[in-house]
């Protein structure tokens, strides 16, 4: 059986749209093949009544209130299935997503990790819109992938909960899998839509992400060869080109902030050199 883990926090509107697509009547396979667990990290458990009153087939559990990594681990600890599928609460799963993952298990019996397809709902409209797109594989973003429960919990001990901010946990997990030579299969049919989300605080968020990157580099010093000054300088150049290339298409929405965000890459280049 597959256990679908959905971490949530104060987003019942998004969560409801996600659960509607995982409803036994909406999926192409029987509910006997999967369970859905919602781990609620909100301070007052606001999704408890919402889930229990509208989605009786969903198992609601209280989250640890320590961030997304801990919340995902919490859901995994309560799972009954041999396989864990992680889907974010703001994703819209395809009607065949469970079937696609089941087919992947049956066709690749030696594989313990599968990554799913992640697309967006429309064309991008602003420089400040973000989405973890994965249409070709190779990323293992935490909003849509499947892993053996035994491998995730016993061998990897789940997501690293020590990152200072909600960033890099999935990169960390992906890298640890590579270090133990674990093969990963990309399943295009295991699809979700991750709508664009407007980044309201790009500067603060950028600095937090860099802090998480520093934790990652301290944990895996060998990765400093990849995330070095040249890496961030190239990011600055590419971001700058993208800004001027897309200005008219985005009608300059988020233009000024995007310039500063691009310049922050130069700051990161200096910081990683120290």
Q: Are residues 65 and 187 in the same domain?
A: yes
Q: Are residues 169 and 218 in the same domain?
A: no
Q: Are residues 211 and 93 in the same domain?
A: no
Report d(CA 182, CA 174) in Å as an integer.
9
Residue 48 parent element (H or E): helix 47-54
Q: Smallest Cα–Cα separation from 259: which of 240, 235, 238, 232?
A: 240
Q: Smallest Cα–Cα separation from 7: which of 169, 200, 157, 178?
A: 169
Q: Are residues 18 and 145 in the same domain?
A: yes
Q: What is the per-residue pLDDT for 73?
A: 98
Q: What is the per-residue pLDDT for 18?
A: 98
Q: Smallest Cα–Cα separation from 153: which of 183, 191, 112?
A: 112
Report d(CA 168, CA 210) in Å as an integer.
9
85 Cβ contact partners less than 8 Å away, ≥ 6 residues apart: 2, 3, 4, 5, 34, 97, 98, 101, 144, 145, 146
Domain end residue (candidates: 151, 178, 198): 198
Q: Are residues 112 and 191 in the same domain?
A: yes
Domain end residue (candidates: 198, 226, 241): 198
Residue 144 parent element (H or E): strand 144-148
Q: Are residues 233 and 158 in the same domain?
A: no
Query: Which token pair is 42?
Result: 């909100």
Q: What is the per-residue pLDDT for 54?
A: 96
Q: Smallest Cα–Cα separation from 137: which of 159, 114, 171, 157?
A: 114
Q: What is the CATH number of the domain that holds 64?
A: 3.90.550.10
Q: Are residues 154 and 253 in the same domain?
A: no
Q: What is the per-residue pLDDT for 183?
A: 98
Q: Are residues 38 and 130 in the same domain?
A: yes
Q: What is the per-residue pLDDT for 68?
A: 96
Q: Are residues 189 and 259 in the same domain?
A: no
Q: Are residues 130 and 262 in the same domain?
A: no
Q: Are residues 70 and 192 in the same domain?
A: yes
Q: Are residues 95 and 211 in the same domain?
A: no
Domain end residue (candidates: 198, 215, 236): 198
Boundaries of domain holding 263: 202-273
Looking at the structure of the chain, the number of domains it has is 2
Per-residue pLDDT of the chain (274 residues; tens, 9 = 90+): 999 999 999 999 999 999 999 999 999 999 999 999 999 999 899 999 999 999 999 999 999 999 999 999 999 999 999 999 999 999 999 999 999 999 999 999 999 999 999 999 999 999 999 999 999 999 999 999 999 999 999 999 999 999 999 999 999 999 999 999 999 999 999 999 999 999 989 999 999 999 999 999 999 999 999 999 999 999 999 999 999 999 999 999 999 999 999 999 999 999 998 8
Q: What is the per-residue pLDDT for 274?
A: 83
Q: Smallest Cα–Cα separation from 16: which of 33, 34, 35, 36?
A: 36
């Amino acid at each position: 059986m597959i256990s679908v883990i959905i971490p949530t926090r104060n987003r019942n509107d998004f969560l409801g749209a996600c659960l509607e697509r995982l409803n036994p009547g909406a999926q192409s396979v029987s509910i006997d093949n999967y369970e859905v667990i919602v781990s609620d990290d909100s301070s007052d458990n606001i999704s408890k009544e919402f889930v229990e009153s509208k989605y009786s087939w969903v198992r609601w559990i209280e989250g640890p209130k320590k961030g997304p990594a801990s919340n995902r681990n919490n859901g995994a600890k309560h799972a009954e299935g041999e396989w864990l599928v992680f889907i974010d609460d703001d994703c819209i799963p395809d009607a065949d997503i469970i079937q696609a993952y089941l087919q992947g298990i049956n066709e690749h019996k030696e594989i313990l990790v599968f990554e799913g397809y992640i697309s967006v709902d429309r064309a991008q409209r602003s420089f400040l819109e973000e989405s973890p797109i994965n249409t070709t594989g190779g990323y293992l973003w935490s909003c849509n992938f499947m892993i053996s429960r035994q491998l995730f919990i016993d061998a990897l001990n789940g997501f690293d909960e020590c990152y200072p901010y909600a960033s890099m946990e999935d990169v960390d997990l992906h890298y640890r899998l590579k270090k133990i030579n674990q093969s990963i299969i990309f399943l295009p049919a295991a699809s979700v839509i991750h709508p664009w989300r407007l980044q309201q605080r790009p500067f603060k968020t950028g600095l937090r992400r860099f802090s998480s990157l520093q934790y990652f580099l301290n944990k895996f010093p060998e990765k400093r060869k990849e995330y070095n000054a040249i890496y961030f300088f190239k990011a600055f150049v590419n971001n700058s080109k993208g800004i001027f290339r897309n200005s008219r298409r985005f009608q300059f929405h988020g233009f000024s902030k995007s310039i500063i965000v691009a310049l922050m890459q130069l700051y990161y280049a200096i910081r990683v050199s120290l």
